[in-house]
Amino acid sequence: MTKIIKPTYINRCNGCELCIFEAQRQLKKVGLEDSLIRVFRKKNPETQALGFELEIDPRINILDIEKIELICPKKVFEVEEDTKND
Amino acid sequence: MIDISVKKVLSIDLEKQEADVKSFIDLNKYFGGTGLGLKFLEIYKDKNPLIFSVGPLNGFFPYTSKTSIVLEKDSAVEDIYIGGSLSTRIKFAGIDSVVLFGVSKEETILDIQNSVVNFKNKDTEPQSLGLPGKRSGIYFEGDKLLCDQYFTTPEYYLETILKEKNIKGITITGTEIFSPKNFDDYKKLYLEILDRKLDLRVDPADYPSCSGCPVGCGKSKVGEIGGNVLLNSLVACQFADKIYTDIGIVFSCLNTLGYEYTHEDIENLPGLIEETIRNISK
């Protein structure tokens, strides 16, 4: 069964971008271009607190997603079985 | 592809609204950050420059997340440091320093993408500039400048000089990539350094983090001022001094990336910086 990575606990994200850099390292590059994960900053209009949103490209499964899950210091991600596509 | 064999400066003439990129192979000995910033302050001294610089490790290794800002205020040289994602965006724009000189005729926003600069009207919505996820922005919120809507600098030096230059904000987007020659060695060293969280002089917390730092500490919001010349030329976080004042580790990082520095270059840096400051003061 295929595994997928989800940013289940996105409210914990601190925007460190280590997930981006891990994904890029697995593709043997350093940088942001063509990254399979993107992190966006967004201020909450009511509280003015800075929050983050993640966009994960479905092609992320070509990578070792468990390493991406592990490198996150805030445990934002969960890796689980993809029950929809199997 | 980012070229680490030379120092590249994006110089922006605010009065003429012109920009160009120059490459300096002979400035490699200044490393980057404050070393390079001071050298550009010497070169552009007559034009009241404001210089943002990154170091050779920014974007490549953990805890090297600051951007150096060098400027002259009331005949005193000031070096300040700001966190956030600005350093990685400058690095991934493929440049080492951004020098703003002169004064813009009208209030302007700078939209920088790699080496290309667009001069935008003061009413341009910052969110419309750059590429989301690959950009960093410095904009006024009240009387304070914030990077990425959160990080700022100590004092008001940056705010004052940007107001003098008629600059309302800056967005910078970096889309270049780099691939160290020996990628496996790079990856191993990266993970070893990332694993040294206990060597930092700050505790992990729940604040927004600088790019490439997992800690989310409470200190990064206000940036830094002054400090160790090696740290400041690498533009590493001052709270990572146990890691980045260790010449052996710095040398390994530089070597792994393909920089051709020697131990002697690292040891000579403080002397070069002293000499540059003397030249600026003349």
Instruction: Collect all residues with Cβ–Cβ distance below 8 Å to B216 and sequence separation of at least 6.
Output: A14, A16, A73, A74, B204, B205, B206, B207, B208, B209
Q: Which residue of A has its CA nearest to B57?
A: A30
Total domains in chain A come to 1
Strand blocks (E) in chain A: 3-6, 30-31, 37-43, 50-56, 78-81
CATH number where B40 lies: 3.60.9.10
**Of B92, B190, B204, Cβ closest to residue A31:** B92
**Of A17, A43, A71, Cβ closest to residue B211:** A17
**Planar angle of CA B200, B65, A74, nearest 5 degrees:** 65
Give the domain range for residue A46.
3-76
Domain presence at residue A29: yes
Q: Does B58 touch chain A (CB under 8 A)?
A: no
> What is the structure's pLDDT at A36?
98
Q: Which of B63, B50, B57 is nearest to B9 (CA)?
A: B50
> What is the structure's pLDDT at B98?
98
> What is the structure's pLDDT at A45?
86
Total domains in chain B come to 1
List chain B residues with CB under 8 Å of A14: 206-209, 214, 216
pLDDT tens track for A11-57 = 999 999 999 999 999 999 999 999 999 999 998 888 888 999 999 99
> What is the structure's pLDDT at A85?
62
Are the Cβ atoms of A31 and B2 closer than 8 angstroms?
A: yes
Are the Cβ atoms of A30 and B177 closer than 8 angstroms?
A: yes
List chain A residues with CB under 8 Å of B179: 28-30
Are the Cβ atoms of B134 and A30 closer than 8 angstroms?
A: no
> What is the structure's pLDDT at A48?
85
Are the Cβ atoms of B214 and A16 closer than 8 angstroms?
A: yes
Per-position pLDDT tens, chain B of length 282: 999 999 999 999 999 999 999 999 999 999 999 999 999 999 999 999 999 999 999 999 999 999 999 999 988 999 999 999 999 999 999 999 999 999 999 999 999 999 999 999 999 999 999 999 999 999 999 999 999 999 999 999 999 999 999 999 999 999 999 999 899 999 999 999 999 999 999 999 999 999 999 999 999 999 988 889 999 999 999 999 999 999 999 999 999 999 999 989 998 999 999 999 999 988
Between the alpha carbon of residue A52 and those of residues A39, A69, B154, B259, the distances in Å are: 7, 17, 25, 34
Q: How far from the centroid of its chain's Cα atoms is residue A41's Cα? A: 14
Give the domain range for residue B118.
1-282
Q: How far is A16 from chain B (nearest CA, A)?
A: 5
The DSSP 8-state label assigned to residue B103 in this structure reads -
The DSSP 8-state label assigned to residue B151 in this structure reads B
Confidence band for A83, pLDDT divided at 50, 70 and 90: confident
CA dihedral A57, A64, A11, A83 (to 10 degrees): 70
Q: What is the pTM of this model?
A: 0.97
List chain A residues with CB under 8 Å of B60: 30
